[in-house]
Amino acid sequence: MTTNTKQSPAKRWLLALGAIVLVIAALAAFKVQEIMGAIAFAQSFPEPSETVEVHVVEGAHYQPVQKVYAEVVAPRRLELRTELTGVVAEVGFAAGAAVEKGQLLVQQDVREEKARLQALKARELLAARTFSRNQTLHREKRLSEQALDESRAELDSVRAELTQVQVQIDKKTLTAPFAARAGIHHLEPGQLLPAQTHITTLIGLEPSLWLEFELPQTALQLKPGDAIGVQADSSELRATIVARDAELSASARNLRYRAELEGGDHGLLPHAVVKVLVPASEPRQVALIPDTALRVDQLGSYVYLLGEDEKGVIRANRRQVEVASRRNNAVAILSGLEEGDRIAGMGAFKLRDNIKVSVSDPAAEPQS
């Protein structure tokens, strides 16, 4: 009797599959041991941490503002023009120079008027003497009432002509009505000036200026005495509301305001345009933080709130905030923080959510 030792193909496949499974299991066990060793090696190092300064959030009153454009206006400004046609006899000021009140600016030729004035003064003297004699004769009953009235009318007529000629002389003598700085002119003696010719523009030498601007009728109403901010180049100034219009503009339904800017060292000139900061709504309470604490990414503005975990370790936790304004290295926060919250200040850029934190000021650490 003979024995058949040849294995079937099915058994050979099963044996090969089992061998493969054993090899894979051995490799997996080796890899798990390798990973566990790496984890254990990593855990042997201390947890990474970052050092930052701690800032305690402060509360403050915040006044929301809006920026509008304002025009600079001189409180005293005059465009000087001729009233009568005449020839320039004298120019008494230089272009762009400061002039005093009452200073002669332009004298037109008044030789004809002065000649008429002398003739009228002679007639006035004669008429006055005639009227005086007639009064004496009338008292003595040697002159009629009509003759006395005629002499009085002659005297009054001559005096009226004198006044008229003097007014013409005054109109041709242009003087500065107040201390001012004159504009540029192109006047020369002998030049014929028609009536209503522009002579120059006078700007008063007062140190203060006016700022005029408009606000929509829906904006917060301002009143005289309210303070507003002014942005002129790199300077930040303060002005005070001194007047507001009595009605809305018919075209835009805006209300016009006037503010006074005091001081002469701001370098502004009339007709310049500046930005003014006016209250946009009623004041509100905000949280105040340094700008080094604020971070911004595609998700918005945030800070790192510092707090202890269950083991007493200080950790950073990301907190979304709503920013009201940034000014003078400080940030006003409308929501997301409360007064007394502890946040990361200088060094906040190094943090990530839930990272361990060491504070640079030991006195700022929480008490155990």
364, HSE (Cβ side, Cα atoms, 13 Å): 21
Residue predicted with more confidence, 12 or 331: 331
243-to-45, 219, 257 alpha-carbon distances in Å: 71, 16, 6
Residue predicted with more confidence, 153 or 233: 153
Beta bridge partners of 359: 52
Other beta carbons less than 10 A from residue 55's beta carbon: 22
What pLDDT is attached to residue 5?
A: 54
Residues written for the chain: 368
> In the predicted model, what is the mean pLDDT of residues 72-96?
94
Lay out the sheet containing 330-335: strands in order across: 58-62, 284-290, 330-335, 322-327
What pLDDT is attached to residue 195?
A: 95
- Is 342's pLDDT higher than 50? yes
Tell me the pLDDT of the chain averaged across its residues.
87
107-to-26, 120, 156, 287 alpha-carbon distances in Å: 117, 22, 29, 67
Q: Read off the DSSP letter of residue 196.
A: T
355-to-95, 292, 302, 368 alpha-carbon distances in Å: 71, 18, 16, 20
Fold of 49-61+284-364: 2.40.420
Beta bridge partners of 274: 70
Residue tagged 């790496």 (tokens): 38
Residue predicted with more confidence, 343 or 283: 343
Other beta carbons less than 10 A from residue 278's beta carbon: 22
Superfamily of domain 66-75+203-279: Efflux pump adaptor protein, beta barrel domain (2.40.30.170)
pLDDT band at 45 (very low <50, low <70, confident <90, very high): low
Greatest mean pLDDT among 33-42, 169-178, 335-344, 353-362 lies in 169-178
The residues, ordered by sequence, that sit 6+ positions from 329 with a Cβ below 8 Å of its Cβ are 290, 291
**Contact present, 107 and 89 (Cβ < 8 Å):** yes
> In the predicted model, what is the mean pLDDT of residues 166-183?
95
> In the predicted model, what is the mean pLDDT of residues 339-361?
86
What pLDDT is attached to residue 362?
A: 46
What pLDDT is attached to residue 367?
A: 43
What is the percentage of the chain residues whose pLDDT exceeds 90?
Answer: 52
What confidence tens digit (pLDDT) does each residue in 97-120 have?
A: 999 999 999 999 999 999 999 999
What are the domain boundaries of the chain?
A: 49-61+284-364, 66-75+203-279, 110-171
pTM beyond 0.75: the answer is: no
**CATH architecture label of 110-171:** Orthogonal Bundle (1.10)
What confidence tens digit (pLDDT) does each residue in 111-153 have?
A: 999 999 999 999 999 999 999 999 999 898 888 999 889 999 9
- Is 365's pLDDT higher than 80? no
What pLDDT is attached to residue 328?
A: 78
Nearest in space to 180 (alpha carbons), one of 200, 157, 195, 155: 200
What confidence tens digit (pLDDT) does each residue in 242-283 have?
A: 999 999 998 889 999 999 998 767 788 899 999 999 988 888
Q: What are phi and psi of 321, to 5 degrees?
A: -135, 160
What pLDDT is attached to residue 368?
A: 38
What pLDDT is attached to residue 36?
A: 79
**Contact present, 219 and 281 (Cβ < 8 Å):** no
What pLDDT is attached to residue 42?
A: 59
